[in-house]
């Protein structure tokens, strides 16, 4: 008996069992993969509305393939092509980092700490565009420039920004190609140490977006070293960093005469973001 001749109930149960081996949320993942493979809504994954007619059989073959790729360890967003961040779903490709929930802290802080009407924001190393686009959507009067060194990442970010008039994209190695001054510079730079064993678990994602040199702080150092020339007087710098890098980042900021330095924890209780004034 093939997968196709069995009922959808049985297929679902077996798929969830397979996914349980690699995921703590097998049901949610099944629903997302079902929706990506069939074009039906996620809730349809739980009903028997899906019948094995010939067109549907192709969808089910695709779903089987998605499930086996997921069981091999491919991150879910690289199969479905989507990852939710802040209030939107972002297109992701293997040229972009998958946006993490803890990075929403940067968006939340910038939105809650700044009430002025016309601000200029620079998002460095934007990847999918998650940070810059989320801010641009919330604040139509703010002007955002988002950069990345990767043209392929910028292409994805541009697609994600469809329709938004207040965000533009520029290829740049950190601040190298940026001439203007900004009220806020924000970045989630790569910050994992070169020899961190954790990198092996992230092998599907672009290394250039994850690895920050020997101590993980090369990108943060480069940004902090050059940020003041692109910040207005009393401008703000917001940086995401690794859970154990708070003191090192504070020290670099102090070496470059940043003041009003403040650290914030993410929802898991890890030091995750630092804000400083120029
Ligand atoms: N937070 C990511 C992780 O540890 C790393 C993201 C980054 O380097 N900016 O999986």
- At a CB cut-off of 8 Å and minimum separation 6, what does 50 contact? 8, 38, 40, 44, 56, 60
Per-residue confidence band for 5, with pLDDT thresholds at 50, 70 and 90: very low
pLDDT tens column, 92-126: 999 999 999 999 999 999 999 999 999 999 999 99
Asked if 129 and 188 touch (Cβ cutoff 8 Å), the reply is no
Residue 28 beta carbon below 6 angstroms from any ligand 1 atom: no
User: How far is ligand 1, taken at its centre, from the CA of residue 187, in Å?
Assistant: 12
User: How far is ligand 1, taken at its centre, from the CA of residue 190, in Å?
Assistant: 7
User: How far is ligand 1, taken at its centre, from the CA of residue 61, in Å?
Assistant: 33
Q: According to DSSP H, which parts of the chain are helical?
A: 8-20, 26-38, 54-71, 76-80, 104-113, 130-138, 151-160, 218-227, 246-255
Asked if 148 and 126 touch (Cβ cutoff 8 Å), the reply is yes
**pTM across the whole model:** 0.93
Chain CA centroid to CA 49, Å: 34
pLDDT tens column, 238-278: 999 999 999 999 999 999 999 999 999 999 999 999 999 99
Mean pLDDT of 11-36: 95
Ligand 1 atom closest to residue 216's alpha carbon, by position in its atom list: 8
Closest CA to 128 of 108, 101, 155: 155
On the CB side of 165, CA atoms within 13 Å amount to: 2
Residue whose CA is closest, atom 9 of ligand 1? 190
User: How far is ligand 1, taken at its centre, from the CA of residue 150, in Å?
Assistant: 17
pLDDT of residue 1: 40
Residue 169 beta carbon below 6 angstroms from any ligand 1 atom: no
Ligand 1 atom closest to residue 240's alpha carbon, by position in its atom list: 9
Ligand 1 atom closest to residue 97's alpha carbon, by position in its atom list: 6
Using alpha carbons only, give the angle 52, 57, 59 rounded to the nearest 5 degrees.
Answer: 120
Q: Of the residues 100, 105, 217, which should be mutated to test ligand 1's pocket, given the most ligand atoms within 8 Å of the CB? A: 100
User: How far is ligand 1, taken at its centre, from the CA of residue 243, in Å?
Assistant: 10
User: How far is ligand 1, taken at its centre, from the CA of residue 95, in Å?
Assistant: 15
Q: Of the residues 97, 106, 223, which should be mutated to test ligand 1's pocket, given the most ligand atoms within 8 Å of the CB? A: 97
Q: Is pLDDT at 4 greater than 60 in this prediction? A: no
Share of the chain above pLDDT 70, in %: 96
Asked if 189 and 212 touch (Cβ cutoff 8 Å), the reply is yes
Per-residue confidence band for 51, with pLDDT thresholds at 50, 70 and 90: low
Per-residue confidence band for 56, with pLDDT thresholds at 50, 70 and 90: confident
Mean pLDDT of 201-205: 95
């Amino acid at each position: 008996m093939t997968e196709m001749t069995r009922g959808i109930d049985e297929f679902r149960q077996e798929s969830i069992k397979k996914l349980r081996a690699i995921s703590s949320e097998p049901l949610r993942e099944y629903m997302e993969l079902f929706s990506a493979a069939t074009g039906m809504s996620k809730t349809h994954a739980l009903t028997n509305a899906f019948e094995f007619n010939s067109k549907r059989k192709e969808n089910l073959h695709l779903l089987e393939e998605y499930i086996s790729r997921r069981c091999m360890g491919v991150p879910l967003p690289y199969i479905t092509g989507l990852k939710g961040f802040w209030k939107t779903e972002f297109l992701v490709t293997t040229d972009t980092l998958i946006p993490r929930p803890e990075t929403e802290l940067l968006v939340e802080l910038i939105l809650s700490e700044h009430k002025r009407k016309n601000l200029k924001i620079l998002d460095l190393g934007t990847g999918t565009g998650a940070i810059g686009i989320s801010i641009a959507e919330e604040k139509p009067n703010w002007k955002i420039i988002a950069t990345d060194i990767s043209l392929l990442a910028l292409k994805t970010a541009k697609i994600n920004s469809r329709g938004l008039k207040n965000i533009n994209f520029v290829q740049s190695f950190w601040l190298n190609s940026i001439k203007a001054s900004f009220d806020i510079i924000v970045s989630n730079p790569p910050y994992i140490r070169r020899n961190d064993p954790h990198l092996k678990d992230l092998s599907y994602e672009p290394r250039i977006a994850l690895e920050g040199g020997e101590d993980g702080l090369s990108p943060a150092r480069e940004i902090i070293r050059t940020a003041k020339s692109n910040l207005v007087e009393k401008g703000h710098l917001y940086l995401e960093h690794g859970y154990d890098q708070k003191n090192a980042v504070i020290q670099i900021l102090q070496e470059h005469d940043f003041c009003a330095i403040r650290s914030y924890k993410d929802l898991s209780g890890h030091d995750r973001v630092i804000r400083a004034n120029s």
